[in-house]
Amino acid sequence: MRKLPSLILQFSAAAILLTGCTVFPKTSKLHNIKVGSVQENDDVFVNVDDLAMRLTKLKKGMRDTAVYDTLGVSPKRFYTIPDDQKMKYVDGPQIPQPHTAEEQDKIKARADSYTVRELTYRSITTKAGVNLVLTKETHTTGYDLRLQVTFKDGILDKVTLAGIQEINRYNKETIISLIGTAAKGGSAEALQLIIKNSVKVPGL
**Are 139 and 44 within 8 A, CB to CB?**
no
Query: What is the pLDDT averaged over residues 142-150?
Result: 95
C-alpha to C-alpha distance for 168 and 191, rounded to whole angstroms? 32
Mean residue pLDDT of the chain comes to 75
Length reported for the chain = 204
pLDDT number for residue 174: 72
User: In the structure, what pLDDT confidence band is assigned to residue 122 with cuts at 50, 70 and 90?
Assistant: very high
pLDDT beyond 60 at 191: no
Q: What is the DSSP letter of 90?
A: H
Where residue 8 falls among pLDDT bands split at 50, 70, 90? very low
Q: Greater confidence, 181 or 110?
A: 110
Kindly state the average pLDDT of the residues 138-162.
Answer: 94
Query: Helices 177-185 & 4-19, crossing angle to 10 degrees?
Result: 90
- 57: confidence class by pLDDT, cuts 50, 70, 90: very high
Phi and psi (nearest 5°) for 59? -130, 140
Rounded distance, CA 155 to CA 158, Å?
9
Q: What amino acid is encoded at 45 in this protein?
A: F
The answer to whether 172 touches 136, Cβ cutoff 8 Å, is yes
pLDDT value, residue 9: 33
Question: What is the spatial distance between Cα 132 and Cα 153, in angstroms, rounded to a whole number?
Answer: 62
